[in-house]
Amino acid sequence: MTVKWEGVFPAVTTKFTEDDRLNMAAFLKNVEAQLAAGVNGIILGGTLGEASTLSEEEKAVLVRETVSFSAGRVPVILNIAEQTTAGAIAAAAAARRDGASGLMLLPPMRYKADARETVAFFKAVAASTDLPIMIYNNPIDYRILVTLDMFGELAACDNIQAVKESTREAGNITRMRNRFGDRFRLLCGVDTIALESLVLGADGWVAGLVCAFPAETVAIYELVKAGRLAEAVDLNRWFFPLLELDVHPKLVQNIKLAEVHTGLGTEQVRLPRLPLEGEEREQVLAIIQKALQSRPRLPEIPEKQQVSQKDRVAAE
């Protein structure tokens, strides 16, 4: 399936059973809620999530099951975060075999590669596969900034098509547009500045709290793209305390607790993570419960402004 890098792409959490196995029933229930809300793709194996705790076989199961379950409604994207170029190339090949439609690719892990090394890494992976690639630019968490000049070199790789913009500077959307026009599709990767990024011209949103609140996330995107900014701002103000739970070291625990309270997940995490407890848990719970008590009725989006999942796939 062709990937149209626009709209809402949930970075879905991985669900586990109490005996630390993949909980595919809970996982697919959440995926179905995302699809019903009108998301544009599903991203698996987010690196700030629990991907680093998954075995290669578990990743393969998640890709195969998600591809089968989504049945062509949206593209399934696998995140690749490897220490070596050879490892990243092997992961890309495995993703393709398992049916993924595209890749989200990070720079080398652990080693702080310089600009020349990082570009060589991305180019080698891109040359090894025909899958479309979204570069994940997150210098805050991964220490490597992919600069405008580096993207200038990467523009030669036809299958490097998009950027998950997580520098936490909304102005980077404008910098990329001024330098490259529409050469790269730009998706905001930080929940708290997604609204601003979309207004500045981002094509989409790689979202976190969407895992618990898919309809609200899609509504903000649709309202902005429809030019209904006042409504988008109002909805974002309600959503913002929840969105802040995503920019936190315990974002996985935060999001999973929210999923429990919206009926879309479980609280099981994989060691070394532990569920929230004590005062920390109560603070997060208070945010979730306040939001649920004041949960707004979502505005109507006129039919001409909506695109069904079937139409999206047909258009691709």
Ranges of residues in the chain whose predicted pLDDT is under 50: 304, 306-316
**Which helix (H) or strand (E) element contains residue 134?**
strand 133-137
Per the domain annotation, does 182 fall within a domain?
yes
Which long-range CB contacts under 8 A does 145-151 form with residues at least 24 apart? Answer: 146/107, 146/118, 147/115, 148/175, 148/176, 148/179, 149/115, 150/115, 150/118, 150/119, 151/176, 151/179, 151/180, 151/184
Per the domain annotation, does 1 fall within a domain?
no
Look up tokens 């998600």; give the residue.
Answer: 66
Phi-psi region of 151 (alpha: psi -120 to 50; beta: other; left: phi over 0): alpha
Specify the amino acid at residue 261.
H
Structurally, the chain folds into a number of domains equal to 1
Here the CATH number for the domain that contains residue 106 is: 3.20.20.70
Contacts of 272 (CB under 8 A, 6+ apart): none
Q: pTM of whole model > 0.75? A: yes
Q: What pLDDT, on the 0 to 100 scale, is given for residue 46?
A: 84
Helices then strands, counting H and E runs in the chain, come out as 13, 8
Give the whole-angstrom CA distance, residue 134 versus residue 222: 22
Q: What pLDDT, on the 0 to 100 scale, is given for residue 110?
A: 87
Q: What pLDDT, on the 0 to 100 scale, is given for residue 301?
A: 84
Decide if 259 contacts 211 (C-beta within 8 A).
yes
Q: What pLDDT, on the 0 to 100 scale, is given for residue 47?
A: 80
Per the domain annotation, does 20 fall within a domain?
yes
Decide if 198 contacts 227 (C-beta within 8 A).
no
Q: What pLDDT, on the 0 to 100 scale, is given for residue 305?
A: 53
Contacts of 108 (CB under 8 A, 6+ apart): 82, 83, 84, 85, 88, 117, 118, 121, 144
The structure tokens listed for 169 are 């500077």
Name the CA radius of gyration of the chain, rounded.
Answer: 18
Q: What pLDDT, on the 0 to 100 scale, is given for residue 314?
A: 40
Per the domain annotation, does 216 fall within a domain?
yes
- Residue numbers of the domain that contains 195: 7-315
Phi-psi region of 167 (alpha: psi -120 to 50; beta: other; left: phi over 0): alpha
